[in-house]
Amino acid sequence: MANGPGELTTWVRPLAERLHAMLPLRPRVPDAPSSLELVLVPCPNATGHEHGAARPWHQFDRIVPAAQFWRLLIQPRRYGVWPRRGVVVFLGGDQFWTVLLSARLGYRHVTYAEWVARWPQWNDRIAAMSEAVRDQLPRRYRERCRVVGDLMADLSSFASHDDPLPDGEWIALLPGSKRAKLSVGMPFFLETADRLARRRPGVRFLLPVAPTTSVAELLHYSGPENPIARCYRTAVEGVDGEELVTAAGTRIRLLQRHPAHGPLSQCTLALTTVGANTAELGALAVPMIVVVPTQHLEVMQAWDGGFGLLARLPGFRRIIGVLLTVWRLRNNGLMAWPNISAGRRVVPERVGAITPDDIASEANMWLEAPERLAAQREELRALRGQPGAVAALADEVRQQLPRALGSA
């Protein structure tokens, strides 16, 4: 079970690959008696297109979209035959959905707890990211918990360099995958790219197209149909093969391969919005500048948590947006996952009424100081932890399976 695009790419896909390597499972082994299924759960941080993004991976015998979760819970047989025994694995969203579905199907379940295990009394097993997660558990439940490590730490092992980027100084642009983020991120980052290209004529740009969006959607948010785009001095000339070309002549390579870990790991610097992408970049040890332009209140709708939910409500949007901006700025709240994990600023976060020229200038300063980039990269590597979490979690899942399959 999972929710959003970040969790699918960084948690679900690696674990699914590992399970297929360990066990005979449909659809990879067509005649296998057991299968791997993906159930997506309702979540305000999801896009609604996750099922379409996961389908081309050919890892799952059945994918249930988030919009159908409640019908699945009420009438599971409506979605085909479910075996008498199985395991539900929590990999994002609300942990309670795992409790509900495992109870409904009569399955055992494993919860991957990144920060906290919320329902230990109902968890068969808890796979914790760190000792801190286990230490929070009441003592009587700690024997159910195993510290497997950070799933993100394994991303580098999945980052293939079989398709190296051409020589040059590559800058990754990650404007987000949700509408609220793209509406600000696309015009903002395009103008930033134009301005940075004028400062550094040899720089090259890479924009990974998130699996839950499309090139057409990126063009939409870069054009006049997006009111926010009118606030920026940029325009898209068109798409030339695999490159987006701005009116100023800046060429941005569009990468539509998923996941994009290999090419991303080769970038010198990334300019990114907040979200799971900051954890992904951190796991790949790619230096980054995190950008949140708060002059557009619409961006508040893309933030996580209760404030983000309230900001989506008509009438509350402007009030909550202003209060949230003031709170973030006054309290210097950490927003990027590497910073949250470290409890301090490892990567710069630029929050406020910032401009593309501000970010282009700062990016140029970082690029002119390779020793600073190397230091940030090393800090990110140190935070990442040791690889092996995916294998450890897969082992936990196998131990919960029926004996005949688990020993396959």
129 and 208 assigned to the same domain = no
Count of domains forming the chain = 2
Q: What is the mean pLDDT of the chain?
A: 88
Neighbour tally for 191: CB within 10 Å:
24
Residue 161 lies in a domain: no
Q: What is the pLDDT of residue 44?
A: 76
Domain with 318 in it: 169-384
Give yes or no: residues 289 and 399 share one domain.
no
Phi-psi region of 187 (alpha: psi -120 to 50; beta: other; left: phi over 0): alpha
What is the average pLDDT across 150-163?
A: 74
Is 158 within the bounds of a domain?
Answer: no
Q: Which of 342-376 are b and which e, b meaning 16 or more Cβ less than 10 Å from the residue's Cβ?
A: beeebbbbebeebbbebbbebbbebbeeeeebeeb
Looking at the fold, whether 144 and 177 belong to one and the same domain comes out as no
pLDDT at position 316, please?
57
Average pLDDT over every residue of 60-84: 94
* Residues 95-143 pLDDT 10s: 999 999 999 999 999 999 998 999 999 999 999 999 999 999 999 999 9
pLDDT tens profile 178-207? 887 899 999 999 999 999 999 999 999 999
Dig out the tokens for 88 from the structure: 């539900």
Arithmetic mean of pLDDT, 237-257: 93
> Using CA atoms in the order 216, 275, 388, 90, what is the torsion angle rounded to 10 degrees?
-90
Asked whether residue 156 is domain-assigned, the answer is no
In tens, the pLDDT along 281-298 reads 998 999 999 998 877 754
Per the domain annotation, does 33 fall within a domain?
A: yes
| In a domain? residue 339 | yes
8 Å CB contact between 271 and 363:
yes
- Whole-number pLDDT of residue 404: 56
Give the pLDDT of residue 408: 46
Res. 311: pLDDT tops 60? no
Predicted confidence at residue 191, as pLDDT, reads 97
> What CATH number corresponds to the domain at position 192?
3.40.50.2000
Do the domain assignments include residue 108?
yes
Residue 317 pLDDT more than 70?
Answer: no
Together in a domain, 179 and 240: yes
What's the mean pLDDT in 52-67? 93
pLDDT tens, residue by residue, 384-402? 878 899 999 999 999 998 7
Amino acid at 36: L
**369 and 290 in one domain?**
yes
Q: Residues 367, 400: one domain?
A: no
- What pLDDT shows up at residue 99? 94
Residues 84, 221, single domain; the answer is no
Q: Give the DSSP H or E segment for 138.
A: none
Specify whether the CB–CB gap between 128 and 144 falls below 8 A. no
User: Beta partners for 205?
Assistant: 171, 252
- Kindly state whether residue 372 falls inside one of the protein's structural domains: yes
pLDDT of residue 6: 80
**What contacts 24+ positions apart, CB below 8 Å, involve 234-237?**
234/187, 234/190, 234/191, 234/194, 234/356, 236/190
Residues 10 and 56 in one domain: yes
pLDDT at position 218 over 90: yes
Give the position of tokens 């910032």: 354
| Alpha-helical runs (H) found in 142-214 | 155-158, 179-199
Cβ atoms of 88 and 101 closer than 8 Å: yes
Q: Other C-beta atoms within 10 Å of 161: how many?
A: 11
pTM of the model: 0.79
Q: Do 91 and 10 sit in the same domain of this protein? A: yes
Q: Are residues 145 and 197 in the same domain?
A: no
| Residues 239 and 349 reside in one and the same domain | yes
Same domain, 70 and 132: yes
Q: Note whether residue 393 is domain-resident.
A: yes
